[in-house]
Amino acid sequence: MKQDANSAREVFGQVKWFDPAKGFGFVVADEGGPDILLHANVLRNFGQSSVADGARVHILVQETERGVQAVEVLKIEPPEGTGGLPLADFAEIDPKVMETAPLEPARVKWFDKGKGFGFANVFGRGEDVFVHIEVLRRSGLADLLPGEALAIRVIDGKRGRMATEVCAWEAALKPEDH
């Protein structure tokens, strides 16, 4: 943990819970101490509208009159245990194909957390891309909002075009490590 000139300090922790409808949630710091408020606006500045409960986060926090609050999200890692068995939809697909699919910029068409799925559209393409809630969880997200910009890895699967990974939209602009 380091201190900077703006009195913000780095904290590593885990998301206790986050409710996109309420617009906030809390993080428990690895170092202990009071829960840290994570506001939806801070998460949006990182390029996401939600974060999965149990996700690991690297954040900058500040002490305020109302307690400790996150002021910037630096990194989010999916919750542990979400990479287990592959989804049935991906069972017959070579994992290398899923890992090497390019990240493409897209927008959420709609997503229904209760139904456990939704659809997105890749920029410049007309077809819908199926997004399963388990793919969201494995990507460290809990929900998606209509019109939300994101980056997705897309393959041809049992349900047609399917997302295998969902990231902040800026990820589609960065050079790939593959």
Q: Within this chain, do residues 164 and 110 fall inside the same structural domain, yes or no?
A: yes
Indicate the helix (H) or strand (E) that contains 109. Answer: strand 103-112
Work out the pLDDT band at 7, boundaries 50, 70, 90: confident
Residues 6+ apart with CB under 8 A from 177: none
More confident residue, 5 or 36: 36
The radius of gyration of the chain from alpha carbons, rounded to an integer in Å, stands at 17
Q: Determine the structural domain holding residue 93 and report its residue range.
A: 88-173
CATH number at residue 20: 2.40.50.140
Does residue 164 belong to any structural domain of this protein? yes
User: CB of 144 within 8 A of CB of 157?
Assistant: no
pLDDT one-digit tens code per residue, 28-54: 999 999 999 999 999 888 888 888 888
Q: If you average pLDDT over residues 149-176, what whole number do you get?
A: 79
Domain count, the chain: 2
For residue 2, pLDDT beyond 50: no
pLDDT of residue 175: 52
Q: Are residues 49 and 101 in the same domain?
A: no
Please indicate, yes or no, if residue 92 is contained in any of the structural domains. Answer: yes
Q: Specify whether the backbone of 73 is left (phi greater than 0), alpha (psi in -120 to 50) or beta.
A: beta
pLDDT at 146 over 70: yes
